[in-house]
Amino acid sequence: MNLAVIKQHLEDRMYLLSVVLLIGLTLVILVLSAINIQVGELRVPIRYSAFDEKNYTLDQWYYLLSFPLFAVVVAGFHTALSFKLYEIKGRLFALTATYLGSIVLVFALVVFLSIYRVVSIS
């Protein structure tokens, strides 16, 4: 990878904005996770099941750390994928990859907030 390719990526404002959006959503998920995940001995509900007598499964608090890890992996993968797609296929494919990653993170944010709300009740 040479400096000309990196310079081309940085000069494309729309591409740069899409990457900043993706990273910004990741940071929002990380901050909300840091605020909502409480360290302690309390077991938290993590999974719903119609077959369990209590309708949910309990696990330790550190299970919740998988949610911000998921956000970091999605953002890293989509950023790297879009960077490579920009070189091979062009701007449109790179923008599509970053916007799809942003959509995944928006859905993840809604799910994570719902889970954190349930955990805070228990």
Cβ neighbours, 10 Å, residue 19: 23
Q: Return the pLDDT at 100.
A: 96
Q: Return the pLDDT at 122.
A: 61
Q: Which two tokens stand for residue 94?
A: 């790179």
Number of domains observed in the structure of the chain: 1
Give dist(CA 104, CA 8) in Å, integer: 26
Q: Return the pLDDT at 23.
A: 96
Q: Return the pLDDT at 49.
A: 66
Domain that holds residue 111: 3-121
Q: Return the pLDDT at 16.
A: 92
Residue 51: strand, helix, or coil: coil
Q: Which two tokens stand for residue 6?
A: 């990196």
Q: Return the pLDDT at 18.
A: 93
Output the tens digit of pLDDT for each of the chain's 122 residues: 577 777 777 788 999 999 999 999 999 999 999 998 887 777 776 666 667 666 677 777 788 888 899 999 999 999 999 999 988 998 899 999 999 999 999 999 998 888 888 777 66
